[in-house]
Chain A
Amino acid sequence: DQQVKQNSPSLSVQEGRISILNCDYTNSMFDYFLWYKKYPAEGPTFLISISSIKDKNEDGRFTVFLNKSAKHLSLHIVPSQPGDSAVYFCAASANSGGSNYKLTFGKGTLLTVNP
Chain B
Amino acid sequence: KAGVTQTPRYLIKTRGQQVTLSCSPISGHRSVSWYQQTPGQGLQFLFEYFSETQRNKGNFPGRFSGRQFSNSRSEMNVSTLELGDSALYLCASSEVGARGYTFGSGTRLTVV
Contacts and interface: CB of A to CB of B under 8 A. Distances in A.
B69 interface: no
Nearest to B106: A43
Interface string B27-47: 000010101000011111100
A49 interface: yes
Interface in A94-115: 99-108
Contacts of B31: 99
Interface stretch (B13-21, B48-56, B75-83): B48-56
B66 to A, nearest CB: 14
Interface residues of B, number: 30
Interface residues of A, number: 24
B100 A105 contact: no
Contact of A44 (B6, B50, B90): B90
Nearest to B6: A43
A102 B59 CA distance: 13
Contacts of A46: 100-102
A25 interface: no
A57 interface: no
B99 A101 contact: yes
B56 A89 contact: no
B96 interface: yes
A108 B42 contact: yes
Interface of B: 4, 6, 31, 33, 35, 40-45, 48, 50, 55-56, 90, 92, 94, 96-106, 108
Interface of A: 6, 32, 34, 36, 41-46, 49, 89, 91, 93, 99-108
15 contacts: A36-B103, A43-B6, A43-B90, A44-B43, A44-B90, A93-B99, A99-B96, A102-B45, A103-B33, A103-B45, A103-B101, A104-B45, A105-B44, A105-B45, A108-B42
Given A43-B4, A91-B43, 8 more contacts: A43-B103, A44-B90, A45-B103, A49-B99, A93-B99, A99-B97, A103-B45, A105-B35
